[in-house]
Amino acid sequence: MAVIGHWVASFLLCYLVPQASVTLLCKMAMMSDFTCGFLLLAKVEGVAVFPWYLSTPPPAANATIQYWKESGQWLPGVDETASQGFLGFAALFPMYLDIPYSHSVLGMAIIGLLVAIIAWLRYGIGFAYAMAIFLAAISHPVLDMFFHDAYVLAGNRAVSRVTVNFWQIYYMEPVAFLLECCLAYGGYCLWWSTRKARGSDEVAKKIAYYKRMFWTISLSHNMASFYIVSPLTIFTMYKYFPAQQFATNDCYWGYAVFAFTMWSWTMALYPLHQLQQLTTVATEKVPSPEDDGKLRPASPETEALELGGQEAQERNQEALRQQLRAMRTGDDAVAYFTRWLEKIGPFLLSMF
């Protein structure tokens, strides 16, 4: 799993916990890649490229492999080299990985727990919401175990590594692309079935606009940057600029490119955030314009409420305030994206 397919867990959790912020849970599902960008730049994590069209790995990749062998981070029989007859990785993701912190269940469990505690202290969220945050965070390395190296524990790439290596099967790029799209769209439909528009025709137009923006950015930026631009960039660099040793520890600017690309995937969450703001949970009553100003006949129940129900009204208002606070949880986590994306949203849509 690489990009939008990871959202399937977040959408499912939002279906089960409707009051949860879909923006926050999707960001938690992306937290592994988001964290990986920082760790790549700090050289705490790294990669060593060896695509199938090279006869041997670049010198920097060989140096990294030698270091792993000397430091006990190499698994003979699992990790293979060209000297053993290994012909290189498939084009989609042609590299050895050393990402045992950002893509470990333990590492994401710690981050998920911290975010859940902060949300509980700041917004008073319930247990179900807190568990949704935690599960969304650990869902990323768990799903990645089917596609590429991921880990249960953190700290050593040779310890607790689990992978089915789906990405290392040749010619699987179209299948992987379609699989991610289907997972993301299926999860999205499940979440959307719990939402309903807040009312007017103007709201319906905005919903259609942000739906289009969400899927346009998701497919033409998030997915294309990984499935198309990334393999082509690696091929081009080794075809015309092999001395750069792109996607190795000796090419720091390449790590910067990977980091900023992964961070940029968060842009797709802006229209998703707007969609949640324009809708409400389907089980809640949305006041219609026709209800405004209507006089309703008095009944014993309404008279009792008017005469002696002030305390009950206050309790209901407090419960409503708590619910609204829970609905807003996570919005602060994306506020800094929302402020500037609000201004460039139409521009993004025109680009993609």
Report DSSP letters for 29-91, one per residue. Answer: HTHHHHHHHHHHHTTSSEEEE-BTTSSS--HHHHHHHHHHHHTT---BTTB--GGGT---B-T
- Residue 296 within any structural domain of the chain: no
pLDDT digits (tens, 9 = 90+) for 154-199: 999 999 999 888 887 888 889 999 999 999 999 999 999 999 998 7
Asked if residues 84 and 67 have their Cβ atoms less than 8 Å apart, the reply is no
| Whole-number pLDDT of residue 1 | 65
Number of domains observed in the structure of the chain: 1
Average per-residue pLDDT for the chain = 85
96-123: average pLDDT? 96
- Residue 303 within any structural domain of the chain: no
Residue 27 clears pLDDT 90, i.e. is over it:
yes
Q: Which of these ranges, 8-17, 132-141, 328-337, has the smallest mean pLDDT?
A: 328-337
- Residue 294 within any structural domain of the chain: no
Residue 221 clears pLDDT 60, i.e. is over it:
yes
| Whole-number pLDDT of residue 168 | 79
| Whole-number pLDDT of residue 334 | 44
Rounded to whole angstroms, the Cα distance separating 64 from 42 reads: 16
- Residue 314 within any structural domain of the chain: no
- Residue 307 within any structural domain of the chain: no
- Residue 289 within any structural domain of the chain: no
Q: List the domain range (segments joined by +) for residue 237.
A: 4-283+321-351
pLDDT confidence tier of residue 39, bands split at 50, 70 and 90: very high
- Residue 312 within any structural domain of the chain: no
pLDDT confidence tier of residue 349, bands split at 50, 70 and 90: very low
- Residue 234 within any structural domain of the chain: yes
